[in-house]
Structure formats: C-alpha cells, structure tokens
A = this chain, B = another copy of it.
Amino acid sequence: IDAASAAQAAVRQDSLTKPPGSLGRLEELAIFMAGWRATPRPVIKKAQALIFAGNHGVCAQGVNPYPQDVTQQMVLNFQRGGAAINQLCIASGADLRVVPIMLDTPTADFTTGPAMTSEEMLSAMNIGASAVDGNADVLILGEMGIGNSTVASALVAAFFGGAPPDWVGPGTGSDAAGIARKCAAVSKGLALHGGRPALETLSRFGGREQAAICGSILAARASRIPVILDGFICTAAASTLHVAHTGLLDHCLVGHVSAEPGHRRLLKELGKRPILELDMRLGEGSGAALALGILRAALHCHNGMATFAEAGIS
C-alpha cells in the first residue's frame, strides 16, 4: 500500500465540506483506494467482476438438494444475462465475466481422498490469475458450484478450528437432515486432511473455483487492484491466503456479511468488517457487486466535493 497517497487522501477528506469523519466508512473506503491505487485521487474507470464455477465430488455424500447439472445451467444463465449477478453488475457498472472450470470433471470426493492434485489446484489458480484484467481499478469476485458451501465449511474448519456445526449452514437450502450430511462430510474430511499447510489444505478439500479465487486475488495484488470479496464461500476460499501468509488479503474488502451463519465467524477470524448486511445468501458475487455501488459513491464524494476553502465556509 502506498502510505503517502493514503495520507494525502486523508488530508483531502478533512478539507471537504463536512465535519471531519462524518462520512464514516465512505472516507475509509476512499483512503483505502488511494493507498492501493497509489494516487490521492483514485477513480473507478473499469470494474471487473469474475465469477468462477466448478463442480465437486463431495456431492456424492448428499450435501446439496440440487443436482450438479445446475452449476452448468446457472453458468448459461449468467452468460445469457438472467441471474442476479447480471442485474447487480448492470446496476453498479461492472463488466462481468463468467469462468466455468472443467464442469464435466468434478473434483474427487474429499471424504474418500484429496479433492485435487497439486497440479490440478495450480492449474485452477492460474486460470483465476489469467482472468484478471490488469486495467481494472477494482475486482469483484464470486463463485457458483453446487456443493461448494460444504467445501467452504471444511476449509475454514481446517483453518480455524471449531466443530463442523460451527461452520456448516443451510447453503442453497438444505434442511436439518441435509445439514447433518454436510457436517458428517466435513468431519470425515477433517479426519483425512486436517493439520496440513494452507495450500495443501485447499488442494485436498477443493475446489477449482476456490483455487481460481485465490489465484485472482494474488494477480490483483500484483497489479495493485483492490478486490471486493463476496459471501461465505468466496471469503472461505480467500482465507486460504490469509492462513498461508498474514496480510495477503490486505487489499481485499468484504462486500457483505451473508446470512449463511459461518460467514460472520469467518470475518471475525480475518479481522474484516463487511460493507453491507442485507441478509443475502446467494453467492455468485452478488453482495460484492452491490458493495461496488457504495465504493463508487465514496469516490464520488472524495473527488467531487468542494473543500471548505473552495466553498468559502466559516
């Protein structure tokens, strides 16, 4: 982060026609953008939204009420403009790209062995990194993958401890029996794959879209592109990097806190405060895209307001 640009942005904020601090988090967001974009007057000309999709072998354990075909059907829906994320990207001015990753080749069932080999994980990370537009001023990340809330729960249970019920929620709509199956799958997975380094844990639980999210976050960092993370599954994937090396998520905002119960707990582990809290639990980048509107508004104020001197105010 460019501390000088951030400091200049903070000085500007205090010169604008409002009581100092009265725009609250909008001021923080403007200063954050200044630091990461290395300019005291950051702008968003281009916002990119990337949605990664994958399929998961753990669906064999009955962890999701929907068939895996829905992942491909939803990818088509994204491509045709029919999903929530399409509308939210229109509303917030983001360019959406959907990246399905080997949907016909689900990862292996992590309750019986590693979900991915190291090579498969690295390949998916590279797909994520390559998808990042280096000319973007901000990157929104989301995911789609039937069964991936179970993968997310397993990952964060491995990273942060706690029992499966602390991290497992209804996801797309599991009932009590479904949640019990999710917990059982997570327990089996922890027994097989627990206690390993962060990236090895990611390869063992999966999935491809989670690895792609990690790859894109690293690529964005290299280009000084701030990231807006979405809900539980997206943040759980990103937490791999936090565990691997504290500070790797410093350029990441969290767009919202999901109604999926594990998300709030996860944000506490990461020390991240969400921008929005609207009881959403959809994934596909929806909360992150919505938060882009708040970030845009913060920069409108930062760049467009008059200073006290300009306005001639006592």
The 0/1 profile, CB within 8 Å of B marked 1, for residues 276-299 of chain A is: 111111100010001001101100
List residues of chain B with CB within 8 A of the CB of A19: 172-173, 281-282
A91 lies within 8 A of chain B by Cβ: yes
Residues of A227-281 whose CB lies within 8 A of B: 259, 275-281
A280-B88 in contact (CB<8A) = no
A305-B84 in contact (CB<8A) = yes
List residues of chain B with CB within 8 A of the CB of A90: 300, 304
List residues of chain B with CB within 8 A of the CB of A310: 82
Say yes or no: A282-B74 contact (C-beta < 8 A), given A23-B84, A91-B297.
no
Say yes or no: A23-B282 contact (C-beta < 8 A), given A74-B313, A77-B311, A314-B69.
yes
Q: Which of B173, B276, B313 contacts A73 (CB 8 A)?
A: B313
**Most chain B CB within a 10 A radius of its CB, from A87, A92, A173, A310:** A87
Q: How far is the CB of A81 from chain B (nearest CB, A)?
A: 8
CA distance A280 to B22 in the complex (A): 5
Say yes or no: A278-B24 contact (C-beta < 8 A), given A88-B297, A294-B293.
yes
Q: Which of B67, B91, B259, B313 contacts A300 (CB 8 A)?
A: B91
The 0/1 profile, CB within 8 Å of B marked 1, for residues 2-36 of chain A is: 00000000000000111111111110000000000
Q: Which of B17, B22, B82, B294 contacts A306 (CB 8 A)?
A: B82
A22-B172 in contact (CB<8A) = yes
List residues of chain B with CB within 8 A of the CB of A305: 82-84, 86-87
A312 lies within 8 A of chain B by Cβ: yes
CA distance A86 to B304 in the complex (A): 9
List residues of chain B with CB within 8 A of the CB of A280: 22-26
Q: Which of B24, B82, B172, B276 contacts A279 (CB 8 A)?
A: B24
A286-B86 in contact (CB<8A) = no
CA distance A80 to B82 in the complex (A): 41
Q: How far is the CB of A51 from chain B (nearest CB, A)?
A: 14
Q: List 24 A-B contacts (CB under 8 A).
A: A16-B84, A17-B77, A17-B83, A19-B172, A20-B173, A23-B84, A23-B280, A24-B259, A24-B279, A24-B280, A25-B278, A69-B314, A73-B311, A73-B314, A82-B310, A82-B311, A83-B306, A87-B300, A87-B301, A87-B304, A88-B297, A90-B300, A90-B304, A293-B293
